[in-house]
Amino acid sequence: MIRRARSAYPLLLIAPSALLLGLFLVLPYLNIVVMSLRNPANGSPYAPGFTVGNYLRLATDTFYMQQVANTLLIGLFTTLVCLILGFPVAWQLSREKMRFRGLAYGLVLSPLLVGIVIRSYGWTILLGNNGIINKTLMNLGLIDRPIGLMYNVLGIVIALVHVFLPFMILPLMSALQGIDPSLKSAARSLGAGKLTVFTRVILPLAMPGIQAGCILVFVLSLSAYVTPALIGGLRVKTMAVSVVDALIDTFQWPFGSAMALTLSLTGAVIVVIFARLTRMKWKIS
């Protein structure tokens, strides 16, 4: 009896979390799956019966396929730029003798302290044709006419990098702090140069942080709505913006659900491929 009671303890501890996940994650996703198979209707969310026509419409319409490509492109570019910019910052924050560590932490976390709408409007002030950047360059005589920094992929990526850079830096910093400094000293004593130490010692040991940061930023970039809607406008539409338009503006719940599921599955497939290519090992104990 005592052994049975002890074996039931883990199940009792997991039960509250499993219940919350089932109610607020599994059931909503199942509802979206069922909704995506419903027949569309005019004046109501859906009509009786089921169909796969919503997915066929999405797969055969080049307009929506272009939106899928734009969304993936923005997600990949945002992740790559965040990794390039975030790794040096995480490396400096992980050093024990770094001065002004508290100020650096505050600067890294500062984008998270401001609402996403305010941040996006701030970028419109900076990137617009009459914005601060273009006006400054024109006043300096460096350009004759404004540079297109908004309503394109470039502007969306710039704004998303500012929003999601902390989600790349924090996992990287945690991984870099776990690297034993003696490993670098041992590699240098064996004749390895700085580049070899970085590529053969630091980079492999930092891979868990790189994986976590890249997955976080990529998934968040795919599902971002406010920033692409404000910075991209009507010229660059992502799947998240189209999903909201279909659900709220045009009242096409089945088609909007199909788009949302397609976006989720596409992102999940890319994450799994990335995990396989970087040799992420899932351990279940």
Q: What is the pLDDT at residue 113?
A: 84
Picking from 279, 174, 232, 217, the residue whose alpha carbon sits closest to that of residue 85 is 217
User: What predicted TM-score, i.e. pTM, was given to this entire model?
Assistant: 0.86
Q: List all residues 6 or more positions away from 199 whose beta carbon is below 8 Å from its beta carbon.
A: none
The percent of residues in the chain predicted with pLDDT above 70, rounded, is 93
Question: Across the chain, what does the average pLDDT equal?
Answer: 85
Highest-pLDDT range among 101-115, 140-154, 210-224 = 210-224
Tell me the pLDDT tens digit for each residue of 237-277.
899 999 988 888 888 899 999 999 999 999 999 998 888 88
pLDDT band per the 50, 70, 90 thresholds, residue 166: very high
Q: What is the pLDDT at residue 5?
A: 53
Q: What is the pLDDT at residue 117?
A: 85
Q: What is the pLDDT at residue 3?
A: 56
Q: What is the pLDDT at residue 202?
A: 84
Cα R_g (the chain), whole angstroms = 24
Q: What is the pLDDT at residue 37?
A: 92
Check residue 111 and report its DSSP letter: G
The percent of residues in the chain predicted with pLDDT above 90, rounded, is 32
